[in-house]
Amino acid sequence: MKLKKSLLSLLLLLSVFSLAACGSHSGANAGQADAAGTESSSSNTGSNGGASTEPAKEPVTIEFWYGLGGKLGENMQTLIDKFNASQQEVIVKPVVQADYSETEQKLQAAIASGNVPAAVLSSNVDWARKGYYASLDDLLAADSDFNASDVVQTFLEQGKVDGKQYFLPMYGTTQVMYFRKDALEKNGIKPEELTTWEKLGEAAAKMTVKEGDKTTFYGWEPMWGADNLIDAVYSKGGKIISDDGKTVLIDSPEWIETWDMFRKWIFEDKIMRIHSGGQGWEYWYKTIDDVMKGQAAGYTGSSGDQGDLDFNVVAAMEQPGWEGVGPGKPVAQAILAGIPAKASPEQQQAAIKWFTFFMSPENTAFWSMNTGYIAVRQSALENPDFVAYSEQNPQATIPLKQATHGSEPFQDPTGGKIVDALKIAADKVEIGNTPAEKALKEAKETAQRALDALNK
């Protein structure tokens, strides 16, 4: 009997030790899990103290469509990778198009099919009014990382349609002048003296090299398309439509004189030329190559070209104005991103998270330093890295300086018909050598019909 009692006591004692050991082991595991950054045991229990069976939430994967090539595309991928590594709630999947136009074309097809991306580097006022894009006001109000007061207001306003925020500025851009330092020095030309288009034309003539009737070195290369021509018109005081929104003004003397001056420089004087056509941004990079390879003294291009340029060879300056008018007033434009309305609420929230990350002071400063585009947050200018970079790279400040006296981009009330008419007219002048008066009067007739139909 005593032996049985002793055995029983021993078994009870061993049971107590075993339970204590199990409890100690469980606690050690919980501590290790906490140290590893996973949820603690207390967060894995329900109200009754039992273990939760709720699975871990999967990240939301969204597509981000954009048309960027070269260094711009590389820098965009860098920030996408940084975002994906910074958190576990959203995964951004990049989908790259050839250029901005292709992005819009493919988005149009996606909207029609109902299979849309959650985020696009594109904007369209007319499509916003038709409900193709989601209004961002409620999404932004719920996002603690968005600080509207710190966003450059000129850029933020460009994303509003009828008082609502439909698009967010990812970066700003303006067309500036890039020139070979050796070409100007060789000809005794000081860049700070090229304050008017007339003076630039004279400098281009001086730098141009010809062999017989053939030009072997061009004094300047405007970028193909209506944008450079419109900038020059704005600098002369021209407008696209009247202040009351009823009359198209693109056949005024400011337009005709400006566009015909460029036609003369290209076809008659042969001191300038343009590259046109090609796939995507092909014409753009051919223009850059002419300057970098020593076939042209300079060109008019985007502030975003700075990532592709060697500033040991070239330098930057602001666009000139016109004699008797004042400084240049080229467009300072925000490159905007939006969210298609057919994206799910979960995807829309994920897209906003990506947009606000891209717009953070640190990341918008990174984008500006590495691409030449204008940062969209005012506080980015106080970023220590940006301050140090600007001191060593003065070309980085040129777009910012020009934007302070730039023009706002034209918002086409006809859904793009006026802009299309201008593009056709620009091709006639720059490619077809059509007199500016003829090309612009034809464009005015087309544009006015579209405006009249809108105002009925």
Q: Which domains does the chain have, with CATH numbers?
A: 60-173+334-403 (3.40.190.10), 174-331+410-455 (3.40.190.10)
User: What sign for the dihedral angle of Cα 362, 367, 372, 376?
Assistant: negative
Structure tokens at 232: 């020059």
Considering only the C-alpha atoms of the chain, give the largest distance between any 2 of them, rounded to a whole number of Å. 128
Residue carrying the six token digits 């493919």? 106
Q: Which residues pair with 209 in a beta bridge?
A: 217
Contact status, residue 226 vs residue 418, Cβ threshold 8 Å: no
Could you give the angle at the alpha carbon of 255 between the alpha carbons of 249 and 260, nearest 5°? 150
Which pLDDT value is given to residue 269?
96
Which pLDDT value is given to residue 53?
57
Which positions ≥6 away from 369 have C-beta within 8 Å?
A: 385, 386, 389, 393, 396
Which pLDDT value is given to residue 44?
38
**Of 58, 66, 57, the residue nearest 95 (C-alpha):** 66
Q: Which amino acid is at 173?
A: T
No. of helices (H) and no. of strands (E), the chain: 17, 11
Contact status, residue 111 vs residue 126, Cβ threshold 8 Å: no
**Of 100, 60, 103, 96, the residue nearest 75 (C-alpha):** 96
Measured in whole angstroms, the distance separating CA 95 from the mean position of its chain's CA atoms is 15
Which pLDDT value is given to residue 73?
95
- The pTM of the full predicted model, rounded to 2 decimals, is 0.71
| Beta strand pairing call for 60-66 and 90-96 | parallel
Could you give the angle at the alpha carbon of 40 between the alpha carbons of 36 and 45, nearest 5°? 150
Rounded to whole angstroms, how far apart are CA atoms 140 and 337? 14
Rounded to whole angstroms, how far apart are CA atoms 168 and 404? 20
Q: How many CB atoms lie within 10 A of CB 236?
A: 23
Which pLDDT value is given to residue 405?
85
E strand or H helix at 210: strand 209-211
Rounded to whole angstroms, how far apart are CA atoms 214 and 234? 33
Which pLDDT value is given to residue 308?
85
Measured in whole angstroms, the distance separating CA 126 from the mean position of its chain's CA atoms is 19
User: What sign for the dihedral angle of Cα 418, 424, 427, 432?
Assistant: negative
Rounded to whole angstroms, how far apart are CA atoms 217 and 295? 5
Flag residues of the chain having pLDDT under 50.
1-52
Q: Which amino acid is at 421?
A: A
Measured in whole angstroms, the distance separating CA 206 from the mean position of its chain's CA atoms is 36
User: What sign for the dihedral angle of Cα 122, 126, 128, 130?
Assistant: negative
* 3-state class (DSSP) for residue 332: strand
Q: How many CB atoms lie within 10 A of CB 107?
A: 22
